């Protein structure tokens, strides 16, 4: 079994679902594809495929969750991260370990067989990410559909638009705010790290020479440090990875254990650990750490809100026949 990667996600609480949230923009609504594919239930079809994939590889949960985040924060939720090419988002260094594109391709092929030219790759990703979280123990929530696919994908835009794992909390909050997400939603969306992993290049700077001190990051739990050093030796160029939730019984579960871990200074990424320390976010982290239901109740609505960023609907964009290339 490979380890999935979720090192900078976060690939997300408003609670009340208003009418606007169910009919956002032009033709973005829950149940958009009802009656558009004959007697086929597209959401049920996608759910079944995702379920089979997770049964074979639990890392699919983190892959799809992170993939949606990395798509939505660059040009909006338009499926641009799915496009292949020499200078596309997939080629950005920050997307080096992002996975799940092949899974979306497989799902799209199955959808095309029963409903050709109707369902966008972007909506396939949104629905698949929702199903992955639910199958990992999260609460199921309705997703709005009706998005169309973008035609432009830029590695430079990805580098400029996605937060690195070393980003300070205040700057991350500002980045999320530019995308219409508040501080609480930012903290809730990072909770997706509970099913993720990080590669050495995302946190090795904390282990040996943090901020040119020739010492490790003092915020790392002394019991965790040797484990991380073993995963990422000082003089190795290893691409090893480790779980972001260090509770072995919770690696693939969508739960609030991520928050418990960072409160205990067991955060792997710098942004994760700082989330539990910074006064702007510490209170939210502690609240979510103490209430498993609170995180599960808020994660879905936050994902729905994130999935509205910069959507293309109506006559804008296209419905790709294959997700890796424009029509």
Cite the annotated binding site by residue number. Answer: 71, 74, 76, 78, 80, 89, 163, 193-194, 245, 255
Please give the helix or strand (H or E) that residue 124 lies within, else none: helix 121-135
Structure tokens at 226: 């040797």
Say whether 284 sits in a helix, a strand or coil.
Answer: helix
What does DSSP say about strands 241-243 and 197-199: parallel, antiparallel, or unpaired?
antiparallel
Where b means 16+ CB within 10 Å and e means fewer, 221-259 reads eeebeeebeebbeeeeeeebbbbbbbbeebbbbbbbbbb
Contact (CB, 8 A) for 121 and 104: yes
Task: Give the residue ranges of the annotated binding site for heme b.
Answer: 193
Structure tokens at 227: 């484990």
**Phi-psi label, residue 137: left if phi above 0, alpha if psi -120 to 50, beta otherwise:** left
Task: Give the residue ranges of the annotated binding site for substrate.
Answer: 163
Residue 70: active-site member: yes
Task: Give the residue ranges of the annotated binding site for Ca(2+).
Answer: 71, 74, 76, 78, 80, 89, 194, 245, 255
Cα–Cα dist 315/327, whole Å = 15
Active-site residue identified among 22, 26, 70, 235: 70
From residue 16, how far is each of 20, 130, 283, 300 by CA, in Å? Answer: 11, 18, 22, 12
Contact (CB, 8 A) for 315 and 187: no
Structure tokens at 273: 């650990």
Structure tokens at 89: 């988002």
Which sequence positions are flagged as catalytic? 70
């Amino acid at each position: 079994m490979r380890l999935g990667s979720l090192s900078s996600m976060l690939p997300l609480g408003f609670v009340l679902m208003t009418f606007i949230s169910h009919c956002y923009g032009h033709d973005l609504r829950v149940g958009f594809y009802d009656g558009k594919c004959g007697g086929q239930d597209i959401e049920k079809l996608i759910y079944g495929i995702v379920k089979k994939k997770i049964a074979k590889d639990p890392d699919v949960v983190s892959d799809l969750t992170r993939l949606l985040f990395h798509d939505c924060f660059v040009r909006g939720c338009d499926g641009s991260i799915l496009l292949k090419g020499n200078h596309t988002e997939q080629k950005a260094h920050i997307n080096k370990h992002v996975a799940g594109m092949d899974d979306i391709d497989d799902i799209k092929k199955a959808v095309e067989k029963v409903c050709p030219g109707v369902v966008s790759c972007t909506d396939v990703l949104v629905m698949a990410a929702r199903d992955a979280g639910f199958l990992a123990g999260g609460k199921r929530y309705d997703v709005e559909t009706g998005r169309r696919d973008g035609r432009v994908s830029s590695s430079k835009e990805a580098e400029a638009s996605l937060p690195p794992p070393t980003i300070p909390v205040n700057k991350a909050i500002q980045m999320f705010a530019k995308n219409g997400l508040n501080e609480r939603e930012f903290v809730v969306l990072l909770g997706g790290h509970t099913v993720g992993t990080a590669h050495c290049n995302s946190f090795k700077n904390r282990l040996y020479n943090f901020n040119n001190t020739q010492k490790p990051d003092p915020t790392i739990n002394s019991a965790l440090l040797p484990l991380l050093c073993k995963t990422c030796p000082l003089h190795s160029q290893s691409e090893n990875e480790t779980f972001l939730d260090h509770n072995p019984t919770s690696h693939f579960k969508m739960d609030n254990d991520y928050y418990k871990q960072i409160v205990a200074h067991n955060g792997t990424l710098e942004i994760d650990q700082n989330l539990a320390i910074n006064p702007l976010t510490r209170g939210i982290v502690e609240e979510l750490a103490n209430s498993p239901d609170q995180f599960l109740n808020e994660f879905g609505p936050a994902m729905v809100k994130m999935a509205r960023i910069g959507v293309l609907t109506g006559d804008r964009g296209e419905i790709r026949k294959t997700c890796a290339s424009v029509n």
